[in-house]
């Protein structure tokens, strides 16, 4: 497991690095936002510990730009006391969790483990999951059914991924609008049309869906074993 620490306080950075290495993690570190972002874009990490107040590029900007590049690596923000209000913003810009300084090592390790577990559950370490009979790779945006490529648009992948991350539970249309489309101009009719298209691609019988179920009056539910 590779962790990137982006933290400008040398003591803090060293302390984290030593402790995480002691716990068996492979650790890389950076002391400003610009360099940190460069490392994120050029390497593959399993988790990022990201300080909020950083020189050159703030932690929020690093987080936002990482997600803009469709990099889903879990991010835990390190916020300072008094930045309470920023925590919410942090989660809204795509961070997975946060800890407030000063934090105990035990607390941080527990958060790291929880976030890694969640990430593993969400798309698998490789990014490849089975949805119905379709093998979907959310890391490279490819899908195959019995070796034959299934063509899907970027938006279809994103919709499928959101449903998969919330598999076996009902997802309402408002959640889809907010989290997949991110705007208020899309109508729920658009979502329904996308679902029809997705079903044509992954269901054995699109008229009798077994993978993406309709939950009447609410939304949809994706059924998956993994
Ligand atoms: Ca700082």
Inform me whether the pLDDT recorded for 211 exceeds 90: yes
Same-domain pairing of 95 and 149 = no
Tell which of 76, 98, 122 closes a domain. 122
DSSP helix, strand, coil percent of the chain (3-state; round to 5) = 45, 20, 35
How far does the centroid of ligand 1 lie from the alpha carbon of residue 7, in Å?
6
Most confident of 36-50, 106-120, 129-143: 36-50
How far does the centroid of ligand 1 lie from the alpha carbon of residue 66, in Å?
19
Same-domain pairing of 104 and 9 = yes
SS (H, E, C) 108-129: HHHHHHHHHHHHHHHHCCCCEE
Distance (Å, whole) CA 41 – CA 38:
5
Same-domain pairing of 112 and 23 = yes
pLDDT at 40: 96
Same-domain pairing of 21 and 44 = yes
Domain count, the chain: 2
How far does the centroid of ligand 1 lie from the alpha carbon of residue 168, in Å?
40
Name residues whose C-beta falls within 8 Å of residue 30's C-beta, 6 or more positions apart in sequence.
4, 5, 6, 7, 36, 39
Pairing of strands 2-6, 26-30: parallel
Inform me whether the pLDDT recorded for 47 exceeds 80: yes
Same-domain pairing of 107 and 19 = yes
Residue 75 lies in domain: 2-122
Distance (Å, whole) CA 137 – CA 59:
29
Same-domain pairing of 88 and 197 = no
For residue 90, name the pLDDT band (cuts at 50, 70, 90): low
Contact 79, 87 (CB under 8 A): yes
Tell which of 69, 100, 122 closes a domain. 122
Same-domain pairing of 94 and 199 = no
Provide the H-helix boundaries in 43-149: 59-68, 84-92, 105-123
How far does the centroid of ligand 1 lie from the alpha carbon of residue 54, in Å?
5
Tell which of 89, 122, 155 closes a domain. 122
152-196 per-position pLDDT tens digit: 998 999 999 999 988 888 999 988 988 888 876 788 899 999 999
Sign of torsion over alpha carbons 27, 33, 36, 40? positive
Inform me whether the pLDDT recorded for 127 exceeds 80: no
Same-domain pairing of 133 and 111 = no
Same-domain pairing of 102 and 198 = no
pLDDT at 170: 94
Sign of torsion over alpha carbons 138, 144, 145, 146? negative
**Backbone phi, psi, residue 154, to 5°:** -60, -45
How far does the centroid of ligand 1 lie from the alpha carbon of residue 104, in Å?
17
Same-domain pairing of 95 and 177 = no
pLDDT at 87: 57
Inform me whether the pLDDT recorded for 84 exceeds 70: no
Same-domain pairing of 147 and 43 = no
* Cβ neighbours around 134 below 10 Å, total: 19
Same-domain pairing of 159 and 98 = no
Query: Which residues lie near ion ligand 1 (Cβ < 5 Å)?
Result: 8, 51, 53
Looking up residue 18, the CATH number of its domain turns out to be 3.40.50.2300
Looking up residue 171, the CATH number of its domain turns out to be 1.10.10.10
């Amino acid at each position: 497991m590779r962790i990137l620490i982006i933290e400008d306080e040398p003591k803090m950075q060293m302390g984290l690095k030593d402790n995480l290495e002691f716990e068996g993690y492979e650790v890389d570190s950076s002391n400003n936002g610009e360099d940190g972002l460069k490392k994120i874009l050029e390497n593959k990490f399993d988790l990022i510990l990201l300080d909020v107040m950083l020189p050159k590029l703030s932690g929020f900007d690093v987080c936002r730009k990482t997600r803009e590049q469709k990099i889903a690596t879990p991010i835990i923000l390190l916020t300072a006391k008094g930045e309470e209000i920023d925590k919410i913003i942090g989660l809204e810009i795509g961070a997975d969790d946060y800890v407030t300084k000063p934090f105990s090592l035990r607390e941080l390790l527990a958060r790291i483990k929880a976030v890694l577990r969640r990430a593993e559950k969400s798309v698998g370490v490789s990014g490849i999951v089975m949805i119905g009979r379709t093998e979907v790779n959310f890391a490279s945006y490819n899908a195959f059914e019995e070796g034959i490529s299934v063509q899907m648009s970027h938006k279809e992948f994103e919709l499928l991924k959101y449903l998969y991350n919330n598999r076996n539970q009902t997802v309402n249309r408002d959640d889809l609008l907010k989290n997949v489309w991110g705007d208020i101009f899309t109508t729920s009719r658009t979502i329904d049309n996308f679902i029809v298209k997705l079903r044509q691609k992954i269901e054995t019988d699109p008229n009798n869906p077994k993978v993406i179920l309709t939950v009447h009056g609410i939304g949809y539910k994706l059924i998956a074993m993994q």
